[in-house]
Chain A
């Protein structure tokens, strides 16, 4: 059989079976198509404005490396007129992050971009290695995820950047749509732009966006491969590959059965976000007037290796939590009066008796509640945006600091303290602890 020619240029030999639609393309046409699609995403959503300074959340992994490379290419090709810088978060994981940061440093040189690295130790007084030493390997991803979100915002504020782009791809978005029955979260994950009305020092919003939202993970890998990009492919040592969650596996199986399925899930997610009661996004997040507010994300590693939160242990804990809520729903009134803690924890999974027919039930003890509308305020410790009085990062830090052995001698701890006071989080916690005593 003669080699089939590229379906687009009809000249070169087709080398790539495109994961998204199974078309046969040559290397050059694949790269161009991939780039053009990202360009289309950026222009059709008016993602960038001329003169804007944009920080790329860079981990050294495939997604953010491809993002940096493509944005550089497109910025030059289409003259977006934006300034691109790299922002990396150092979680403090030896044998993983230190190596991947080396990759980011090389990327910075290769792409001629300024690089800023911000460490968890500097921001919070704890490296992930220290956190794991204290809380164990189980559940440490929650700390990492919560810390990372704030870290990127704080880093951006420090750089005077108002827009952070991340490497979230279509598979990530689809996974979240499938995974959680968390409606308020649906619009955040499906919309291309979210914003953090920052109440930190400056009164500016920090915009978050994911230009790779419609790009398949497989195509990102292919792009990196054929462009010979320098990226770091080791999994986080605290969240190994074997731990892969079932939602991720389901997405991959779907893709195998119908290549368009990932995109179709993303589309469904966008459409469903419009049906969430009380949502005011008639536009699916594409018009700038109603940008979903990004709240601190709970759990999970922020980027590609979002395995921790879908792992078996996590599903078991969700199950337990939901089962409690169900019991609470059945014994409606009594439980609500006596155990406020159960209700407090429910947030977002309020037991509903659904069904229009059943609604006329005369023994309806509680009026039907609207979905909990998140009211955003400010964390009273660090000032970060939060729906609770104290933000998740401060809550987690408080727990960590309480259990920190007092008498251990730690090198560099004094030094770190000075840095902390600049950022305020860790020192705020200490103040609270003092007041609380």
Chain B
């Protein structure tokens, strides 16, 4: 939802330039169009501080990967960075970093043709970057470790299946909408990481707004992944050997919506987002935990924006444990699992009193959260007595 427009507040000029008429109120400040656009851009570019020209070695071009979903946030990020790079070039003759863009295609109802069209259009609008479009099932060919294949045996998938078949069977084997959404998002992140590594990028730029990071915080908390939150929300080193940055982390989703609105059709026409307002699904069968959190923060953001940013700020204060390269990792999300605490058993909340709490579960070693999403192997689930 866009920020409040205030056609009738004409008596007070823009709080920043004190000249123009305000077009909207941002965090209780009436701002004009120019000042608002600058406000958003400054917030994003401030987060790119370490990628300024003066931090770039003259003999080495740093390369970053932008993960594009064609949603409002990642498109805005591309738009802003495009402007920043042009600006750097103009002022210093070089740029602080080079940008690659990747889009991961997730099989859904949309026609291949319209995706193709969008992909061509974006390259025309923002030329000069290296673009790639991947299919989600590429992950089965890219992930080097055997970890994913151990997952597949549970879902009854054979090694010689095509990647498309493997993905379809894996998704089909999941028993809830939450699990499907969760596994797809997890695989998507891993695919983007693998792609970044294979193309020599030192870090990934994600388009997540404050609101999205808050959603993710509570969503991952609800899915039992509290242990990996610092790696999923904070700027800096990820456990994957490259950095994660969220340049839009100080901007609310509704502010990004207004930004795209005010920039005009050149940007707005590129957006291929799911319908704006998240509809509360009538059946809880089709609702996912991610949906719930999205709805929750959409409403909180309206009246309590500081609560949204406080969630993110607080989470960023959590300290990620030091990662040993030999630390055991989850076979699905690839996060380091401290002390090898795999699975959902063996903690205070596991109430089975050790009856069938297997200390070291079989091949797919999954973290607590991923264990909740991936159904147990078909063997001996039915005969628990």
Contacts and interface: CB of A to CB of B under 8 A. Distances in A.
A272 B318 CA distance: 7
A270 B224 CA distance: 10
Interface in B121-160: none
Contact of A267 (B46, B178, B226, B300): B226
Contacts of A271: 226-227
Given A254-B292, A319-B306, A357-B235, A40 B353 contact: yes
A270 B225 CA distance: 11
Nearest to B354: A40
B309 interface: yes
B282 interface: no
B369 interface: yes
Interface in B261-316: 284, 287-289, 292, 296, 299-300, 303-307, 309-311, 313-316
A264 B317 contact: no
Which among B27, B28, B310, B347 has the greatest number of chain A C-beta atoms within 10 A?
B310
A371 B313 CA distance: 12
Contacts of A117: none
Contacts of B20: none
B245 interface: yes
A270 B348 contact: yes
Interface in A245-269: 246, 250, 253-254, 256-258, 260-261, 263-269
Contacts of A263: 349
Interface in A318-351: 318-319, 322-323, 325-326, 349, 351
Contacts of A44: 348
Given A183-B317, A257-B284, A355 B372 contact: no
A319 B301 CA distance: 11
Contacts, number: 174
A260 B372 contact: yes
A40 B224 contact: no
Contacts of B299: 246
A108 to B, nearest CB: 29
B179 to A, nearest CB: 9
A257 B313 contact: no
B292 A192 contact: no
B353 A36 contact: yes
B226 A257 contact: no
A357 B236 contact: yes
Interface in A169-184: 170, 177-178, 181-183
A254 B50 CA distance: 39
A164 to B, nearest CB: 20
Interface stretch (B9-17, B100-108, B215-223): B215-223
B49 A258 contact: no
Interface in B75-131: none
A356 B235 contact: yes
A268 B317 CA distance: 16
Contacts of A316: 303-304
B309 A264 contact: no
Contacts of B310: 181, 322, 349
B307 A257 contact: no
Given A40-B351, A315-B304, A352 B317 contact: yes
A39 B296 CA distance: 36
A118 B28 CA distance: 48
Contacts of B349: 170, 214, 263, 266-267
Interface string B176-217: 101000000000000000000000000000000000000000
A258 B230 contact: no
Contact of A355 (B234, B315, B321): B234
Interface in A156-177: 170, 177
A178 B235 contact: no
A7 B223 CA distance: 26
B47 interface: yes
- A182, A213, A357 — which one has the most chain B CB atoms within 10 A of its CB? A357
Contacts of A322: 306-307, 309-310
Contacts of A289: none
B368 interface: yes
B289 A261 contact: yes
A299 to B, nearest CB: 15
Nearest to B369: A264
A325 B384 CA distance: 54
Given A263-B349, A268-B220, A360-B49, A257 B235 contact: no
A306 to B, nearest CB: 18
Contact of A268 (B46, B47, B226, B307): B226
A192 B348 contact: yes
Interface in A347-402: 349, 351-352, 354-358, 360-361, 371
5 contacts: A178-B222, A258-B222, A268-B220, A286-B348, A319-B306
Interface of A: 7-8, 10, 36-37, 40-41, 44-45, 170, 177-178, 181-183, 192, 213-214, 246, 250, 253-254, 256-258, 260-261, 263-272, 275-277, 284, 286, 315-316, 318-319, 322-323, 325-326, 349, 351-352, 354-358, 360-361, 371
